[in-house]
């Protein structure tokens, strides 16, 4: 969830035809079954009616609860037990492909509700390697199965401020919800600020995180999600900058989320905290170093002047938000699932999909406390050595012509 992208909840129910009457003068296409073949209106997509909605029990609520501060929980990464070639998982796949060399893989033919333990271990290892993995049309993976799969990887995280489902007993599920009457908040937050890793202020921020879209805009209707690889962000830095940042820590704060909830009259279920984490961490499965930074929660770099801290934060914000080759963008369809490693990815929602609704549920498990191992490796250096690619020249002073 974005650090403070919290909007007033009007009725916690998806829009009916009545709620969409204010769009009646806009020439939206008719439903697919009544359209003529290839009836196309640029920038307009079919509005799905939710007069009868099958996921009402998973609509958002904000129960007035209070939890004690989190304490450290045991964690052993299941990816360590995975096959380095992912043969248990991919043996059942009908297709697998990467979105780009740095991040993002899509797998077809896998039913996430029916994985063996060996396949789950491979899945964890693949997510650790690729950052985010996508699965289409996972109709069998209902919220109970999604929680069961998440709990296999570790203790499920409970969010202190965001919405949880109406159904009791699902306080470890985070609900993403926007309907046709929600306010457009794009002007409120800068695009760089919306990039974040989830709840990095926790003592043990999450690792394996799944998000399933229950309903949302149709293809071309907007609402995509983007991820950025922090392995690749680390590899973009010069060797002197890598060495410098490896010795620094950053403060991650929950205060802005708590303030946003208080401002809307919503409960804050756990007192906000500020936690210090290393700015560079080493992944326990891959052994690769990654940046551990996000624009949404990092407020300061420890032990250096504020001007220097601000300059580093602005520099890292730019790397994460503007470096296209470390990004992957996913266009959702109903029942699709993204499974990512929150330790090594930032992500950002995209908006502007009014008047469509968007409803998704997220499950995440706690990981280890972030730690830096100086013996860690670089993803890019290991990849280049394995495939016989040249060492990247990071000298920005040399002359070159731009070529796209």
The whole-angstrom separation of Cα 192 and Cα 296 is: 8
Contact indicator for 357, 178 with CB cutoff of 8 Å: yes
Q: What are phi and psi of 56, to 5 degrees?
A: -60, -30
> Which residues on adjacent β-strands are paired with residue 366?
206
What 3-state DSSP class applies to 107? Answer: strand
Cβ(127)–Cβ(208) under 8 Å? yes
Cα–Cα distance measured from residue 281 to residue 292, given in angstroms and rounded to the nearest whole number: 6
Hey, what are 176's tokens?
A: 């993403």
Q: Are 171 and 158 in contact (CB under 8 A)?
A: yes
Residues 189/351, Cβ–Cβ less than 8 Å: no
From residue 271, give the alpha-carbon distance in Å to each of 5, 66, 120.
19, 8, 34
Computed on alpha carbons and rounded to an integer, the radius of gyration of the chain in Å comes to 21
DSSP state string for 9-49: -SSSS---TGGGGGGTTS-PPPPGGGSPTT---TT--PPPP
Task: Measure the CA angle with vertex 280, ends 277 and 286; round to 5°.
Answer: 115
Residue 103 near residue 132, CB atoms below 8 Å: yes
- SS3 category, 315: helix
Cα–Cα distance between 37 and 184 in angstroms, integer?
33
What is the set of active-site residues?
196, 198, 347, 362
Q: Which residue has the tokens 């002197």?
A: 240
Quote the tokens at residue 218.
């149709």
Both tokens assigned to 311: 């300059």
Tell the residue number behind the tokens 């204010």, with chain if given: 22
Rounded to an integer, what is the distance from CA 316 to the centroid of its chain? 18
């Amino acid at each position: 969830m974005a650090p403070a992208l919290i909007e007033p909840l009007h009725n916690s129910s998806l829009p009916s035809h009545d709620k969409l009457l204010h769009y009646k003068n806009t020439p939206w296409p008719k439903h697919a079954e009544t359209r003529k073949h290839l009836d196309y209106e640029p920038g307009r997509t079919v509005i799905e009616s939710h007069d009868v909605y099958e996921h009402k029990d998973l609509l958002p609520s904000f129960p007035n609860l209070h939890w004690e501060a989190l304490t450290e929980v045991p964690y052993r990464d299941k990816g360590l037990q995975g096959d380095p070639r992912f043969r248990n998982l991919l043996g059942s796949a009908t297709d697998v492909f990467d979105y780009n060399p740095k991040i993002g893989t899509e797998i077809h033919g896998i039913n996430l509700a029916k994985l063996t333990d060996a396949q789950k271990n491979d899945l964890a290892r693949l997510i650790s390697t690729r950052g985010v993995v996508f699965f289409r049309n996972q109709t069998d993976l209902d919220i109970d199965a999604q929680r069961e799969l998440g709990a296999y990887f570790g203790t499920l995280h409970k969010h202190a401020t965001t919405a949880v489902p109406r159904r009791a007993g699902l306080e470890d599920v985070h609900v993403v919800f926007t309907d046709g009457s929600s306010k457009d908040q794009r002007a409120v937050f800068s695009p760089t600020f919306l990039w974040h890793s989830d709840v990095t202020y926790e003592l043990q921020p999450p690792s394996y995180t799944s998000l399933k879209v229950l309903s949302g805009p149709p293809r071309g209707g907007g609402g995509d999600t983007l991820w950025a690889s922090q392995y690749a962000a680390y590899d973009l830095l010069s060797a002197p900058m890598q060495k410098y940042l490896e010795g620094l820590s950053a403060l991650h704060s929950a205060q802005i989320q708590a303030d946003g909830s208080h401002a809307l009259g919503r409960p804050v279920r756990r007192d906000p905290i500020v936690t210090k984490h290393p700015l560079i961490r080493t992944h326990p499965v891959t052994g690769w170093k990654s940046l551990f930074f996000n624009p949404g929660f990092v407020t300061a770099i420890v032990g250096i002047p504020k001007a220097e801290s601000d300059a580093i934060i602005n520099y890292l914000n730019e790397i994460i938000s503007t470096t296209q080759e470390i990004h992957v963008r996913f266009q959702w369809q109903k029942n699709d699932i993204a499974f990512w490693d929150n330790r090594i990815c930032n992500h950002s929602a995209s908006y502007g999909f009014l008047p469509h609704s968007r409803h998704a549920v997220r499950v995440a498990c706690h990981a280890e406390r972030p730690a830096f191992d100086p013996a860690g490796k670089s993803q890019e250096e290991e990849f280049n050595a394995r495939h016989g690619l040249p060492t990247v020249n990071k000298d920005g002073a040399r002359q070159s012509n731009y070529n796209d």
